[in-house]
Amino acid sequence: MLGYVLSGTVAGIEGVPVMVEADISDGLPQFDMVGFLASEVKEARERVRTAVKNTGFFLEPRRYTINLSPADLRKEGNLFDLPIAIAVLIGLGILPQNTVDDCMIFGELGLDGSIRPINGALPLVNAAAGNGITRCIVPRDNGLEASVVEDIDVFALSTLAEVTDYLLNPEKYTPVMTDAAKLLSDQQEEVGEDFSDINGQTAAKRATTIAAAGFHNILYIGPPGSGKSMMARRIPTILPQLTLSEAIELTKIYSICGLLPRQKALIGTRPFRSPHHTTSMQAMTGGGRVPRPGEISLADRGVLFLDELPEFNNSSLEVLRQPLEDRQIVLARVHGTYRYPADFQLVAAMNPCKCGYYPDRSKCSCTPADVARYVGRISRPLLDRIDLCVEMPRIEYSDLAGVSEKNETSAAIRQRVERAVNIQKERYKNEKILFNSQLSARLIEKYCPLGKAEREVLGQAFEAMNLSARAYHRIIKVARTIADLDGAERIGVKHITEAIGYRTYDREVWK
C-alpha cells in the first residue's frame, strides 16, 4: 500500500514543498530511501523504525520504499523523520490517507518517539501557507515561531503518539495562536546600551545620525579609547524599528541557522554583527558544501561592524564589494543556487596609524610613509563604498566628567531618524528602494536636482578634492539625507557643504 505526506525543505531562505511517499509491498524485508538525499536524511531510516516501534506500532517485516520528490532537489536536514513515519503508518493502513489532507508535516524523531525541534520552521510554514496549505504539524518547540505565519493553522505537538492521535481526532486540538504584531512590539521594548552613554564627540554623533537616517555606510577613524567601538555598538538603538515583514525576513535567516532562541518567535531588534578580523571569507559571506548564511546575512537589516578595519584579511573584505551593491549574496553550488539577503549597513572603525595616535606628534612617531602603508591595507574600492568618514579625536577630560545627563538619548535621536526615514519611504514609494543610500545614478538625477549655487559648490569641491564620479554621487546622497533630517524639500548649499565635510579625511589620507 502507498502513503503520501507533504513536507518541505529549505533552499536559500525559502521553504520548498517536498512529497514523502512510502510504498509497502511483499518481498524481502528491507527499508530503502531514495530521492537525492543528504546522508543525514538517509539516517532517518533507523530513527523512524525505532520510534514507530517504541510508540507501540508493529512494523511488519515487508519491503518499505520511501521516496522524496521532486527528485532533482537535494534534501537536507533531519526534519523528514516525522513525515516518513506518518507515511509509513498510512502505508500500513494504521492511519487513513485522508487524515493528512492539506497538511504539511515536519520534525525530527527521537528513538522514543519524541519530536525534536528543527531549524527553518518559519520559512517552511511560510512556504506551506504560500502554497495554499491550511494546516501544519510542527515540533512543540517550534510552535511559537511557526505561528507567526498568517493564514495557516499550526499544531505544535511533542510525540509521534500525539501526532497520530491528532490526525485521528483533530477536533480535540487547538492551533497555536499568536499576534505577530504584538510579539514584535514586545521584542522591541528590550533596551540595553544607549547613546546618552557617549560624552562629547558631537561631530561623530551627528555623522552617525545621518548614517542611520539614510542607511549609509560609515567609517570612524581615531586614536585608541576615543569611543569608536562604543559609538558603533549603539547604532542599532537609533536605526528605525523593524517592520513586521523585515522582522520575518530576518527571523527566517536566524531560523535556518538554528540561531533563533526557542522562546523567541521573532527577531525584533536590528542585528549588530561584529565579526573578528580573523574571520574567514566563507564565514563572512556564507557558504560551505551545504551553504549556510554568513555574517553579512546575519547582519541583514542591521549593522555589520568591522572593528580594526586594516587588520582584516584582504580577501574577506573584497567579498563584501558585490553584496554591498546587490544587497544579497548568491552562492552557486553543484546542488543548486542559494540566495541570501545581505542588506546591511557597513560600519567600520580604525586607528589612523599602527601606533594609533597619528597626527598627535607627542605620542606618534610614525612617518608619513608608515601611515600611508597602514591605511593602504584597505582597498580603494571598499573605501569607495563608504559614504561617511568621520574623525573621532581623543576625548577631553571636561567632556568625560559628569555631563552624561545632558546627552541626547537613543530614543530622541531615533525619533529624528524615523522622521527622515518616513520622508524617504514616501518619496521612493514607486521605486524599489527605501533609503537615500540606495539611489542609483539615474534616480539621483530624478530625485536630487541641484540648484545653481549647489552645483557651483559641488563643482569647486570636485576640482579641489580631485573627486571620483562615485564620490560625487555619494556626496549628493548624503546631502539628500541631511536635507531630509532638516525637513527640507530641496538640497541646499549647507547640506552639500556638510556632506563634503565627511570626505575630507579621505582626501587627505588616501589621495
Ligand X SMILES: Nc1ncnc2c1ncn2[C@@H]1O[C@H](COP(=O)(O)OP(=O)(O)OP(=O)(O)O)[C@@H](O)[C@H]1O
Q: Is 208 in the site for ligand X (CB under 6 A)?
A: no
Q: Which is nearer to ligand X, 130 or 393 (CB)?
A: 393
Which residue type, as a one-letter code, is found at position 271?
P
- For ligand X, the binding residues in 11-50 under the rule CB under 6 A are none
Q: Which is nearer to ligand X, 83 or 227 (CB)?
A: 227
Q: Candidates 12-20, 199-207, 275-283, 480-488 — which segment interacts with ligand X by CB under 6 A?
A: 199-207
Q: How far is the CB of 359 from ligand X (least distance, A)?
A: 16
Q: Is 225 in the site for ligand X (CB under 6 A)?
A: yes
- Cell 525584533 sits on residue: 268
Q: Candidates 71-79, 127-135, 159-167, 222-230 — which segment interacts with Mg ion by CB under 5 A?
A: 222-230
Provide the angle, in degrees to the nearest 10, between the axes of the packed helices 244-256 and 121-130: 120
- For ligand X, the binding residues in 329-368 under the rule CB under 6 A are 349, 351
Query: What's the rounded Cα separation, in Å, for the pair 506 and 495?
Result: 19
Q: Is 117 in the site for ligand X (CB under 6 A)?
A: no
Which residue from 229, 274, 282, 409 is in contact with Mg ion, where contact means CB under 5 A? 229
Q: Candidates 87-95, 202-210, 224-232, 375-383 — which segment interacts with Mg ion by CB under 5 A?
A: 224-232
Q: How far is the CB of 345 from ligand X (least distance, A)?
A: 18
Q: Is 187 in the site for Mg ion (CB under 5 A)?
A: no
C-alpha cell, 446: 530624478
DSSP bridge pairs for 479:
none
Query: What's the rounded Cα separation, in Å, for the pair 87 and 85?
Result: 6
Q: Candidates 222-230, 252-260, 432-440, 490-498 — which segment interacts with ligand X by CB under 6 A?
A: 222-230
What's the Cα-to-Cα distance from 319 to each of 11, 84, 138, rounded to whole Å?
22, 40, 37
- 351 binds, options Mg ion, ligand X, none, Cβ within 5 to 8 A by partner type: ligand X
Tell me if 107 sits within 8 A of 115, measured CB to CB: yes
- Cell 556632506 sits on residue: 499
Nearest to 378, CA basis, from 307, 453, 289, 314: 314
Q: Candidates 214-222, 229-237, 293-301, 378-386 — which segment interacts with Mg ion by CB under 5 A?
A: 229-237
Q: Which is nearer to ligand X, 227 or 275 (CB)?
A: 227
Cβ density class 448-482: b for 16+ within 10 Å, e for less? bebeeebeebbeebbeebebeeebbbbbbbbbbbb
Q: Which is nearer to Mg ion, 160 or 347 (CB)?
A: 347
Tell me if 302 sits within 8 A of 274, measured CB to CB: no
Contacts with ligand X, residue ranges (CB under 6 A): 198-201, 222, 224-230, 349, 351, 395
What residue ranges bind Mg ion (CB under 5 A)? Answer: 229
